[in-house]
Structure 1
Amino acid sequence: MAILTRFLVRLATTAVTLFGVAVIVFIVVRVVPGNPIAMMLPPGATGADIAHLEAMYGLDKSIPQQFVIWLLAVLRGDFGTSISLRQPVLGLVLGSLPATLELASMALVIAVLIGGGAALIAVRYRDTRIETVVDVISGAALSIPDFLWGLLLIIVFGVLIPVFSISGRISPDLDLNFDTRFYLIESLARLRLDITANLLAHMVMPALSLALPLAAIIGLVLKQSLKETMELDYVTLARTKGYGETRVILREALRNALLPTLTLTGVQFTFLIGGTVIVERLFSYEGLGNMAIDAVINRDLPLIQGIVICFAVIFTAVNLIVDLTYAALNPRLRHV
């Protein structure tokens, strides 16, 4: 019952948050300089042409009126029509979202594996040179932003040692007769390993670029949490039973040390999704982040609003899931 109450409270908070995001984004994209209608018209267009397009996209009304009309339409599932692409916004967003989710998920898996492995090694060989080396590498990974990692990976593995593809999501010559836009998942389900290999060749570098800073954060937090857990009485008792250090870490300390890291990973995953905007552009990856930059350049107000709302829904949903998972795993919070 306590978890259900917590869920309902967080759900109400999420709804308020999404409404606030919608208000802020709607106002901001309309007060910044630039006229999206002027970018659509050829030279020599008349005032009547401009007025016609403004009326078509509802830009001839006041901002409060525009917001009410847009919000009522969104509640019906209509996010409007893209000004630059002349297609429904919802279809464009949902069409690009799977690519971004697959990229972010792969980056998260890589970050957890690298960061978790680094933390375990550092704790297993704590107070030695190995721990110092791990700390130095983690500090370097954390201090370099994801887009700079992307540039370094392109130079090394795209130019000097051309192992991976540096542009796009998949080679255009491949036959993709898929039912969904989740190409990686569907290729695995259909056992189309040739397409899976091609997708991974395009995803490795952008995913690694996103993963390395996150891996450093996960490693540092998990290492500190493990060190604190290793000083507890039940861990000392396990040592007195003759358990080896590796078994003590993996079987006794790791489970309790994971809770703070779980919360941090969930929060950082939302930032990781936001970080795909620059990385996708850098690798010409056909995802939601790349589309967001094009929408901003073209002053495509409906598309910008749709993309931001989509990101906001993902952020709040991930935070809600992490919060409920933490409450379910932590007995002290089940009855709060």
Structure 2
Amino acid sequence: MTKAGIDFGLSLEIEPMEARSADSLPVDDGWQYEPKWDGFRCLAFKSGSHIDLRAKSGKPLARYFPEVVAYLSGLAVDRFIIDGELVIELDGKLSFDALQMRLHPAESRIRKLSVETPARLVAFDMLLTPAGVPILDQSLRERRAALEGFAKDTSRPEHLILSPFTRDVTEASRWLSGSGGDTDGVVCKRVDGAYLPGERVMTKVKRRRTADCVVGGFRYESDSELVGSLLLGLYNEKGELDHVGFTSTITNAERRELTSRLEALRGGSGFTGKSPGGPSRWSTKRSSEWEPLAPELVVEVRFDHVTGRRFRHGTKLLRWRPDKKPSQCDYHQIER
């Protein structure tokens, strides 16, 4: 029994199966390939009319997505546990920003957003069948068949959809080399594999995306006189240089020479649009401690996600681009 006596068939503390990162798709036999969705990973539990949604961290999500709870609660199915992804679509594209806006303390705000920007659940695995049978020990092939049977009567495009899959590596390669859209890579699962909670037995391969960025500033390493990270910029429609992220993948061998090179450009205009620092979810206690540079250096970096016209995570420095004019580094490179 869990959650005030409600029996969901499996503990709410169960952890989603995880994936290891890889640079390329596995090509041997026995793999199933699925899109890697850009949303909130979610385990959806149902027992009667009771619904619980749990994030990958184990934290409850149900209060933030009342429209998903309402739909799942109303299904003519007594119980299930589904592994999937919560997503929100805006203007034909999935929006991670819209998902984050749901994590709000005010219920009135959440209710308003649930109507204006409704979420849906993308289902890609089943852990407990509507008959109340746990199927974690069954193969992915069997679990997928159970999920497809469930989806025949329950899926609706605006509420619950079934994630596509392929067992053809050529088709998966086309997904991976695509221009982007709603997904940012491919997740690879063994067709004969069981569901192993919390274990990294899947493989994820992210779509490689690169951009040429202006180095508008830098930060020193903590308690050091050497450079720690480069601050990256792109020119906006007004011709202003906006801060869009950073890269810290600098080797120790090049750090001292690079520091001298950067210090020679120190004191320039830096970012003339959005600048580092100020309150944001990217800020740290050292956000304001940066050195502005003359906008002369260009680097090519690899990135995965873009949120709010910024790189959501740190980027990987691929190479310097002395052949590229800083003025050529604009937002068109990262817009899908």
Larger Rg: 1
Q: TM-score, normalised by structure 1?
A: 0.24
Which structure has greater helix proportion? Answer: 1
Which structure has greater strand proportion? Answer: 2
The higher relative CO (CA closer than 8 Å, separation ≥ 6) is in 1
